């Protein structure tokens, strides 16, 4: 079974530029999460999808962050414009009603210079 | 406010030693999970504990959930270099929202 696939693995951009991350969850997993992990910290939830519906986006900085999950499968997370403080690892995870734990992707390491 | 406090934050030991990592909270969780994360990778689920007082063993790893479902511990016996990584505890709230601690960075030296 293929795991959660994220791309790109690394991204370096200048501040004020836009950036997008892509996630393909495990087939059949209806719940998808985007987390942000700062250096030396645990992951923090940005947004959770149940199928194509965003059911928890309370932690998403909506002035510059947006996300979508068309057709309830793949998802993209966008930042526009990026700020220096956005440098972090962005993790995507998925789960289903049958699984208690999350399966995480390898993450995208974003560096804003 | 950090809901889950992990200690110690850093731990460096020699191969063969035993260690315990703690995860504490003032909140009650419906269940608690432990993950291990290696550099450049996402966290990988090790175990889920659900019942207060529950003890689960995974080879040399022993996980315990507190009776009040507010705290948990991870004990590793005879640590090996392959155990090196970031150990994260995560509490599952009623809303299914997962809340992570900051993690314990373990280094096992050969």
CA distance linking residue B44 with residue B36, whole number of Å: 5
Q: CA A39: distance to chain centroid?
A: 16
What band does B33 get if pLDDT is binned at 50, 70 and 90? very high
| Identity of the highest mean pLDDT range in A1-5, A32-36, B25-29, B95-99 | A32-36
Q: What is the mean pLDDT of residues A39-45?
A: 91
Distance in angstroms (rounded) separating the CA atoms of residues A112 and B99: 26
Number of H helices, E strands in chain B: 0, 11
Please give the interface size between A and B, counted as residue pairs whose CB atoms are below 8 Å apart.
Answer: 48
Q: How confident is the model at residue B45 (pLDDT cuts 50, 70, 90)?
A: very high
Q: Is the pLDDT of residue B22 over 90?
A: yes
User: So what's the pLDDT on residue A97?
Assistant: 76
At residue A15, what are phi and psi to the nearest 5 degrees?
Answer: -60, 150
Query: Mean pLDDT of all residues in chain B?
Result: 93
Q: What pLDDT was estimated at residue A50?
A: 92
Residues A16-47: b if buried by 16+ CB within 10 A, e if exposed: eeebebebbbbeebebbbbbbbeeebbbebbb
A41 to chain B, minimum CA–CA distance in Å?
5
What's the confidence (pLDDT) of residue A46?
96
Match 């280094």 to its residue by tokens. B107
Task: Give residue A1's pLDDT.
Answer: 65
Mark yes or no for CB contact B98/A45 under 8 Å. Answer: yes
Percent of chain A at pLDDT above 90? 81
- Note which residues in 6-35 of chain B have CB less than 8 A from chain A: 31, 33
Say what percent of chain B tops pLDDT 90.
85
Residues B19-43: what's their mean pLDDT? 94
Cβ-count burial B12-44 (b if 16+ within 10 Å, e if not): ebeeeeebebbbebeeebebbbbbbbeeebbbb
Cis peptide upstream of residue B85 (ω within 30 degrees of 0): no
Residues of chain A with pLDDT > 70: what percent? 98
Least confident of A20-24, B29-33, B86-90: B29-33
Closest-CA distance, A75 to chain B, in angstroms, reads 17
List chain B residues with CB under 8 Å of A44: 100
Q: Is A41 on the interface with B (CB under 8 A)?
A: yes
CATH says B5-109 is which class? mainly beta
The residue extents of the domains of chain A are: 5-112
The residue of chain B nearest to residue A101, with distances taken between CA atoms, is B45
Structure tokens at B25: 């909270």
Q: Which of A40, A42, A103 sits opposite B100 (nearest CB)?
A: A42
**How much is the pLDDT for A2?**
78
Q: What is the tens place of the pLDDT at every residue in A25-35?
A: 999 899 999 99
CATH topology for the A5-112 domain: Immunoglobulin-like (2.60.40)
B44 contacts on A by Cβ (under 8 Å):
104
Contact A42 B103 (CB under 8 A): yes
Q: Do A93 and B42 touch (CB under 8 A)?
A: yes
Task: State chain A's maximal CA–CA distance in angstroms.
Answer: 42
Q: What residue ranges do the domains of chain B occupy? A: 5-109
Contact B87, B74 (CB under 8 A): yes
Contacts of B58 (CB under 8 A, 6+ apart): B46, B47
Compute the average pLDDT of residues B52-74: 95
Residue among A40, A45, A101 whose CB faces B45 most closely:
A101
Residues within 8 A of B (CB atoms), A 51-90 only: 56
Candidate from A42, A45, A102 with C-beta closest to B101: A42
Q: d(Cα A105, Cα B18) in Å, to the nearest integer? A: 30
Task: Find the mean pLDDT for residues B79-88.
Answer: 96
d(CA B76, CA B17): 8
From CA A101, how far away is CA A58, in angstroms rounded? Answer: 22
Average pLDDT over every residue of A77-81? 97
Distances (CA, A) of B61 to A102, B18, B20, B73, B87: 20, 10, 10, 10, 12
């Amino acid at each position: 079974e293929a795991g959660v696939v994220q791309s790109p693995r690394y991204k370096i951009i200048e501040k004020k530029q836009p950036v997008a991350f892509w996630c393909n969850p495990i087939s059949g997993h209806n719940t998808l999460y985007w987390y942000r992990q700062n250096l030396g910290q645990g992951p923090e939830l940005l947004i959770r999808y149940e199928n194509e519906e965003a059911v928890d986006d309370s932690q998403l900085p909506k002035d510059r962050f947006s996300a979508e999950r068309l057709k309830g499968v793949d998802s993209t997370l966008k930042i526009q414009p990026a700020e220096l403080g956005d440098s972090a690892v962005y993790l995507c995870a998925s789960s289903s009603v049958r699984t208690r734990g999350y399966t995480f992707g390898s993450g995208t390491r974003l560096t804003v210079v | 406010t950090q809901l889950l406090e992990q200690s110690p934050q850093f731990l460096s030991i020699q191969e063969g030693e035993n260690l315990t990592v703690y995860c504490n909270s003032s909140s009650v969780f419906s269940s608690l999970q432990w993950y291990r994360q290696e550099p450049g990778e996402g966290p990988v689920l090790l175990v889920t504990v659900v019942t207060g007082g529950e003890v689960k063993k995974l080879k040399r790893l022993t996980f315990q959930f507190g009776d009040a479902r507010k705290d948990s511990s991870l004990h590793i016996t005879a640590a090996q270099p392959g155990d090196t990584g970031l150990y994260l505890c995560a509490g599952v709230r009623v809303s299914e929202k997962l809340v992570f601690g900051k993690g314990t960075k373990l280094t096992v030296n050969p």
